[in-house]
Structure 1
Amino acid sequence: MSTESIESTVTSSEDLAGQQAIDTSADLLRFATAGSVDDGKSTLIGRLLFDSKTIFEDQLESVEQVSKDRGNDYTDLALLTDGLRAEREQGITIDVAYRYFATPKRKFIIADTPGHIQYTRNMVTGASTADVALILVDARKGVIEQSRRHTFLATLLSVPHIVVCVNKMDLVDYAEEVFEDIRREFTDFASRLRVPDLTFIPISALAGDNVVNRSEKMPWFDGRPLLSHLESLHVASDRNLQDVRFPVQYVIRPQSHEARDYRGYAGTVAGGVLKKGDAVRVLPSGLETTIEGIDTADGPVDEAYPPMSVTVRLSDEIDISRGDMICRPNNSPAALQDIDAQICWMDESAPLVRGKKYAIKHTTRWARAMVKDINYRVDVNTLHRDEEATEIRLNEIGRIQLRVTQPLFVDPYRQNRRTGAFILVDEATNKTVAAGMVGTLPHRS
């Protein structure tokens, strides 16, 4: 994975084409699907797109033709997301497929993530900015290791809402007792994790039961269909839990004569709400000033909030450059050179070991980092911690200690998923080798 994948690693869909226009909408919801290889993730996404009438006729015709060529006697809606030739040949999702659709109530970005353990890094990429994780469980198989693994990863990535879709209910005669058994077992496992919001919905992605429309075949279920539930979720507060965080990405100084006095600081709001006239502090200098104005591509605005991309103008001339952080005077992030973090290792060529040095990118700031220690490696299926581990290999999760050459302005990942995330880059190959999440911070008196 090259440095071109930087933002997709720690912020997944942030850099996708057309994202900027969508991100400014308060009605946007991102969700990621997860499940084992044949739990029906891609079919569910295809069903959502088909039943909400958000696919084009030529797309449907193409899927129908491919389904016919493969000998299916039905239209395989999974082909709407399994777009790679290798995926179609294997019948599994091997990469993160993004899709967009909208209803009268909300816009959606879907990340269809792989289910196989060898693509754990792909799931981490797809779920890293999701508001909701859809965990699919095959009603015939119940809660299996992959179900536990994906739930653990979703909680590790601090996804605020988890929806367990018990799929293929048509293959168990829509039996309520099957659904309830799975709900009890899953709830018992989830009690060992930090799951803020957990919802269960019985569905059949293939038949369309409880996906967009309520199923008449399961009258015992009194909850909402999946799409209705996603439309009604309130996610704005999930994105504004932390005080103001604005990493400076670019200093704008137009060269034209008319705008020669303009100086603005462009970036994406990573936390809180910025308003004209607010007092702010700039890190690392610690100098304080006020916000003179906030500009966007569509003109000035009175306030900015995550994940808006804006240009901030300040009242005073302060030496500010890329990688600096604008925050509140009384609520600054921690400035740390010793970082405690969870990481997902993404490099197939070499494991992470003590003493290795990498480039580190945190928000818009670059530095160099050395691996001081490996605390433990996590078995994502059993949650067992191997405290004797001396290395972390491809797709493995571990807790490590890093020493960084210059302070990074961080928050715990559970408080802010942007200022709490980073990536490690192999300087020799220019490949992104790890996605990291900042853990506990040292006590500040």
Structure 2
Amino acid sequence: MKKIISPTKTRSTEGLRRVPRCFSSITNTALEDRRDYLNNKAVVCDLERLLKDGKRTYYELDWDYRNGIYHSEIDERWENWVYSSHELWKQKNEEEQKRDLDMYWKYLRDYLHRKGIDTSNHRLLLSMKRIETRDPASKSERGGTVEFSIGSPDTGCVSLNRLVLDHSYALPRQSVKGLLCLTGYAAFLIYNPITGETSPWFEIPNNDPQRKRNHIAFGYNPQSDEHIVVCLSGSDKYSRYECISKRPKDQVVEVFTVGKNTWKRIDATPPISITHECPFYVDGCLYWRFRDSANDSDSDADTDSEEGELEQIMRFDIETEKFRVIPIPYFVHKGDTLSQTVELIEVDGRIAVLTRSMSLWKIHEDANGNIKWTKEDICVPEDWNGKPDISIEALTWTNLIFLQSEDWDSILYYNQITKAFIRFPISPDSVPCQWKRIIQV
């Protein structure tokens, strides 16, 4: 490899001063030098930092210029370096990421096999991570980039895609039949994380100025084999934490059919108006979980809620287009005094609730609509009890429950049959990547 000499023309800024000469030239020799330069992973990481530092400096210079501040030492080759090196760095970095992800999955597979767990029927898992790419000179908070990686212990890394968004957005809580719905304030888009295909942003039709609060939910109609988006909109004349019995029942329900890209308004009105509650899809239905003061509620829910808190689930059947409220008995959440004591989860193809004390309550509904609750205690290590921000996935076609905490010191695999858990350590030495949130595809 030829010796790389820094540009003779420099600035006091570290990022610009250390830019290799081969990245400011388009000769064949320079291209060969770039390939050699990018073969070193440490150098690739250094280039990433230089790119960020240089880009920030570039925008600072641009801002100074617009405000009448002149700089006499601007490196004229800087812009050429950005454009010529960025794509090469991006390609090399993605290759490194995929190799790291494959290493991660192999490490996890070997670890689980040593514990006697078969991973051949392990569904694909999707991780989502926000990447800060906003223009440092821009005051706008809209848009951003999300990195999606998909894999499993047996298949390794299946795909690694990035989605660049020009709207404000919220990451989805779950995947519905392989697709994701990313939502904004008054728009949404559909994304396939495996193929990288994405729809345009669909605006929510709203001709009524009184309907200022929009709530979007993503689901699937198994009868028609179509994905749908349900939009509930109403007034914003009440607080998001308003007692549910005092919320005005004025929400309008509209259904968008993905593929046909058509809207229709339905006659059903939600018995509980939705504000900040998160939707959850299971087996042809959408669910929302609510918590309210039993003293303030006029609901006919379970009268065993004498402790002053009332937990409820509202269900929307996509096929029949009907709502139903399912009270959560007091014995399910008794003793949990913190907010959001119940988390909705899918277990064995049906809706269930997970309490803060790590008790899993499955809901069984007979043909007459009668509800029965069965309890399963999840035996997690003592240091995991009461942990905040625990994400949980019951892995389909297995007897395993996958848990992860925001602390990221480890993840847990819980076996529902043996009642035992396996702690999978996450350390920089053995696991070269960190994931923000993992869901099933």
TM-score (norm 1): 0.25
Structure with higher RCO (Cα < 8 A, 6+ apart): 1
TM-score (norm 2): 0.25
Q: Which has the larger radius of gyration?
A: 2
